[in-house]
C-alpha cells in the first residue's frame, strides 16, 4: 500500500499563504477529531501539500471549462490486443479514434482488486500489473486529462491494510468499523440487499462484526480514526504525483458512519469533502472533484456545498432514468419540468451529464418525480429487452428496485423499432440530450461503440452489472466501426459527429444560459445562449414525423442547423422520427460568411 503517510518530511518554513491554509485545514479537522490529533494531522497534511506543489507536473491557473470538455468513461481493459498491455491498447485507440472528440478519460479502477470489477481495492498504490503501470497512466495524462476513482468508502477484505487490521498492527487497529449486532441500525439507508454487518475473526480469535455497506468483500473504512484519513490522503497525493487531476469520489455519501443515523449525507462527510477540495486545489489549481452520489436530485446537489468548497461536479443521476422515461412514454413534459430546475451555485460548479455507465441506471433519483406505476412500466420494458433489475432493502426491510442493468441502447428498444437503423437513430437522439444540457457530458465507451447487452457475461459471472461491461478485441472493434453496414459503425460515426460538433459550439459551454422550451410534449428543446452564439437544440423522442414551428430569435425567421449544415424555415419545420436539430439564427450563406 501507499504506506508513506508517516514518513518524515523536512520541516520547511511555511509561507504566510501556507500558514493560512493550515488554519483552514485544522478548522475542518477540529470538527472531526480532538484538538491535539487535529493539529498534528493538519501540520502533516500542509507539509505534504508543500512538497507536492514543488513536484506537481502542472501548476497552471484554473482554466475553467468549455464546450470542448467531454469525458470518455472506460475500464483500462475494455479494449485488448494480444501482446499489448491494455493501457497501451487504450492509449492507441484514444489517439487514433478519439483525440478530436473527448478531452478527459475516466479510467475506472485500475488497481489490484478482489471483486466488483475494481472497486474492492487490494492495493491503492499500484496499477494492476496485467493492465500496465503508472508509466502508462502518466503517458495518457500527456494528451488527456485523467480522471480516476478515489475509492474512499471501503477496502477489499483481501487487502494488505485489512490483513494488518486483523493482526492488530500499529496504525491499523481502528481501520474498520466494529459494530455490535444489537446496535440500532434501523435508520441506515441501504444501497444493497446484502447484510450491513459482516462477521470476521481477528488473528487473536476475537469475532467482530464490521460495517460493509456494499457487500462482505468491501470493508468500510473508519474515518473516525485520523490514521485512516491520513492513509487515504497519502493515496490522494500519490495520484496527484502521477498526473491525475480529476477525482471521482466513489460512494462518498456513505463515508461517515454513526449508529442511530441514516448513515448517509452526514455533516462529517461534507467536512471530509471540503478537506479534499482544499488539498487538491492547493496542489493543482486545475484539479477537479466529482462526487458520485446515486440519490434523489435534491440530496445530490448538496454536494456542491456553497459553490466553492465541495464538489466541482456532481453526477446528474436523475438524467438517465428520466430521459429513458421520456423516450418510453414519448412525452418530454416530466423531463422538461425537471430540466428547467437545473441550477448550480457558482461558475466553479456544474453537472456531469451522462446516460450510461459501468453501473446500471439508478432509479432512486426518480423518487418524487414519477409515479410508481410509471416506474413499473419502465421495469417491464427493461425485462422485455433482456435487462436485469438490482434491488436494495428499504427501512422496513422490503426489497425495492435500485438500478436497471442493461445497455442504454437496449433499454431504448421497443415494439416500434423495425431494424437496427431505427434503433441507432433512437439511441443517438437520446445521446444528444446530455450534450445540450448545462454541464460536461460523460460518454461510456460501450455507448460510443454501440455495444449491446452482454448476456453471456451475466451468465458466466453471475453479476447483473456485467451486462454492460463486455471486454472487446481492439482490432474487431476497429473493423466494425469502419464497416458502413454495421450497427457499431452507425452509432460510433453518429455519436462522434455530435461530439465533434458540440466542441465547436460556444453556446454549449457549461456556464452558458439555458432555457427549457415547451414547444410540444413530443419534443425536448432548449435554448442555449452566450455572447458568441445562440443555439436552439431540439430532439424528437418519438417514432413519428411532426411538422411544427420553432421559436425564432426575433430577428431572423431562418435558422442554420450546425449538425446537417442546412438552412431551416423556422415557421414550418418537419422533424422526422428521433431527428435532432441544433439551430443557430441565420441561413447557410450568413453562417458561412461569419466563418
**pLDDT tens, residue by residue, 141-150:** 999 999 999 9
Residue 16: predicted pLDDT? 81
Q: Check if the beta carbon of residue 41 is closer than 8 Å to that of residue 230.
A: yes
Q: How far is CA 534 from the centre of its chain?
A: 28
CATH class of the domain comprising 512-594 = mainly beta
Rounded mean pLDDT of 397-409? Answer: 96
Q: Would you tell me how many other CB atoms lie within 10 Å of the CB of residue 343?
A: 11
For residue 255, name the pLDDT band (cuts at 50, 70, 90). Answer: very high
The CATH 3.20.20.80 domain(s) of the chain lie at: 71-157+221-503
| Structural contact between residues 240 and 287, judged by C-beta atoms closer than 8 angstroms | yes
pLDDT at 86 over 80: yes
Give helix 16-30 / helix 35-55 axis angle, nearest 10°: 140
Superfamily of domain 71-157+221-503: Glycosidases (3.20.20.80)
In 3D space, the residue among 549, 527, 474, 479 whose CA is nearest the CA of residue 90 turns out to be 474
- pLDDT-above-90 percentage for the chain: 90
Exposed e or buried b per residue across 93-127, where buried means at least 16 C-beta atoms within 10 angstroms of its C-beta: bbeebbeebbbbbbbbbbbbbbbbbbbbbbbbbbb
Residues 574 and 576: their CA atoms lie apart, in Å, by 6
300-358 tens-digit pLDDT? 999 999 999 999 999 999 999 999 999 999 999 999 999 999 998 888 999 999 999 99
Residue 588: predicted pLDDT: 54
CA–CA gap between residue 527 and residue 583 (Å, rounded):
9
Q: Are the CB atoms for 568 and 417 separated by under 8 Å?
A: no
Supply the DSSP string of 349-379, one letter for each residue: -EEEE-S--SS-EE-GGGTTTS-HHHHHHHH
Looking at residue 185, what is its pLDDT? 93
Span(s) in the chain for CATH 2.60.40.1180: 512-594
* Per-residue confidence (pLDDT) for residue 361, from 0 to 100: 98
- Give the Cα separation of 37 and 23 in Å (integer): 14
* Separation between Cα atoms, residue 132 and residue 146, nearest integer Å: 16
pLDDT of residue 584: 94
Q: What percent of the chain has pLDDT over 70?
A: 94
What is the pLDDT confidence band of residue 55, given thresholds at 50, 70 and 90? confident
Band (pLDDT 50/70/90 cuts) for residue 15 is confident
The DSSP bridge pattern shows strands 154-156 and 79-80 to be: unpaired
**Residue of 50, 116, 227, 250 marked catalytic:** 250
Helix (H) or strand (E) run with residue 25 in it:
helix 16-30
Q: Label residue 359 by pLDDT band (50, 70, 90).
A: very high
pLDDT for 10 beyond 90: no
What pTM value is reported for the model?
0.95
Instruction: Return d(Cα 300, Cα 349) in angstroms, integer.
Output: 13
Instruction: Quick: pLDDT tens for 460-518.
Output: 999 999 999 999 999 999 999 999 999 999 999 999 999 999 999 999 999 999 999 99
Q: Is 50 a catalytic site residue?
A: no
Query: Residue 435: pLDDT above 90?
Result: yes
Amino acid at each position: 500500500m501507499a504506506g508513506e503517510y508517516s514518513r518524515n518530511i523536512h520541516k520547511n518554513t511555511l509561507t504566510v499563504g501556507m500558514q493560512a491554509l493550515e488554519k483552514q485545514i485544522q478548522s475542518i479537522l477540529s470538527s472531526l477529531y480532538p484538538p491535539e490529533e487535529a493539529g498534528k494531522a493538519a501540520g502533516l497534511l500542509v507539509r505534504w501539500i508543500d512538497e507536492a506543489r514543488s513536484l506537481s507536473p502542472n501548476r497552471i491557473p484554473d482554466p475553467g471549462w468549455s464546450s470542448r470538455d467531454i469525458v470518455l468513461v472506460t475500464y483500462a481493459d475494455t479494449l485488448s490486443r494480444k501482446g499489448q498491455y491494455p493501457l497501451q491498447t487504450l492509449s492507441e485507440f484514444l489517439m487514433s479514434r478519439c483525440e478530436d472528440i473527448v478531452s478527459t478519460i475516466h479510467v475506472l479502477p485500475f488497481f489490484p482488486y478482489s471483486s466488483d470489477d475494481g472497486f474492492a481495492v487490494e492495493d491503492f498504490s499500484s496499477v494492476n500489473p496485467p493492465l500496465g503501470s503508472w508509466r502508462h497512466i502518466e503517458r495518457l495524462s500527456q494528451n488527456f486529462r485523467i480522471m480516476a476513482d478515489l475509492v474512499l468508502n471501503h477496502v477489499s477484505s483481501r487487502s494488505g491494510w485489512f490483513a494488518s487490521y486483523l493482526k492488530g498492527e500499529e496504525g491499523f487497529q481502528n481501520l474498520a468499523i466494529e459494530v455490535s449486532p444489537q446496535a440500532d441500525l434501523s435508520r441506515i439507508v441501504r444501497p444493497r440487499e446484502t447484510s450491513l454487518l459482516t462477521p470476521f475473526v481477528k488473528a487473536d480469535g476475537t469475532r467482530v462484526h464490521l460495517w460493509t455497506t456494499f457487500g462482505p468483500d468491501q470493508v468500510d473504512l473508519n474515518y473516525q480514526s485520523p490514521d485512516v484519513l491520513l492513509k487515504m490522503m497519502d493515496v490522494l497525493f500519490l495520484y496527484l504525483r502521477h498526473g491525475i487531476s480529476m477525482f471521482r469520489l466513489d460512494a462518498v455519501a456513505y463515508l461517515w458512519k454513526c449508529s442511530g443515523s441514516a448513515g448517509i449525507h452526514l455533516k462529517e462527510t461534507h467536512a471530509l469533502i471540503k478537506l479534499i477540495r482544499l488539498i487538491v486545489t492547493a496542489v493543482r489549481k486545475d484539479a477537479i472533484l466529482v462526487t458520485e452520489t446515486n440519490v434523489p436530485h435534491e440530496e445530490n446537489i448538496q454536494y456542491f456545498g456553497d459553490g466553492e468548497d465541495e464538489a466541482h461536479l456532481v453526477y446528474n443521476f436523475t438524467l438517465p432514468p428520466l430521459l429513458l422515461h421520456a423516450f418510453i412514454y414519448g412525452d418530454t413534459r416530466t423531463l422538461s419540468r425537471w430540466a428547467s430546475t437545473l441550477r448550480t451555485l457558482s461558475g466553479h460548479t456544474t453537472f456531469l451529464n451522462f446516460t450510461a455507465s459501468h453501473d446500471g441506471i439508478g432509479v432512486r433519483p426518480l423518487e418524487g418525480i414519477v409515479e410508481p406505476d410509471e416506474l413499473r412500466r419502465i421495469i417491464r420494458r427493461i425485462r422485455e429487452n433482456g435487462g436485469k433489475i438490482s434491488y436494495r432493502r428499504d427501512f422496513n426491510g422490503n426489497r425495492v428496485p435500485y438500478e436497471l442493468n442493461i445497455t442504454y441502447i437496449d433499454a431504448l428498444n421497443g415494439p416500434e423499432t423495425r431494424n437496427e437503423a431505427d434503433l441507432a437513430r433512437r439511441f443517438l437522439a437520446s445521446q444528444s440530450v446530455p450534450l445540450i444540457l448545462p454541464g460536461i457530458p460523460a460518454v461510456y465507451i460501450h455507448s460510443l461503440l454501440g455495444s449491446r447487452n452482454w448476456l453471456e457475461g451475466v451468465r458466466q459471472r453471475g453479476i447483473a452489472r456485467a451486462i454492460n461491461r463486455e471486454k472487446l478485441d481492439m482490432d474487431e472493434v476497429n473493423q466494425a466501426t469502419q464497416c458502413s453496414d454495421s450497427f457499431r459503425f452507425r452509432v460510433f460515426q453518429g455519436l462522434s459527429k455530435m461530439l465533434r460538433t458540440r466542441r465547436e459550439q460556444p453556446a454549449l459551454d457549461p456556464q452558458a444560459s439555458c432555457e427549457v422550451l415547451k414547444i410540444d410534449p413530443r419534443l425536448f428543446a432548449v435554448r442555449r445562449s452566450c455572447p458568441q452564439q445562440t443555439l436552439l437544440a431540439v430532439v424528437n423522442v418519438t417514432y413519428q414525423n411532426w411538422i411544427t414551428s420553432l421559436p425564432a430569435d426575433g430577428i431572423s425567421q431562418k435558422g442554420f442547423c450546425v449538425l446537417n449544415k442546412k438552412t431551416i424555415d423556422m415557421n414550418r419545420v418537419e422533424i422526422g422520427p428521433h431527428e435532432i436539430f441544433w439551430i443557430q439564427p441565420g441561413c447557410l450563406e450568413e453562417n458561412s460568411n461569419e466563418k
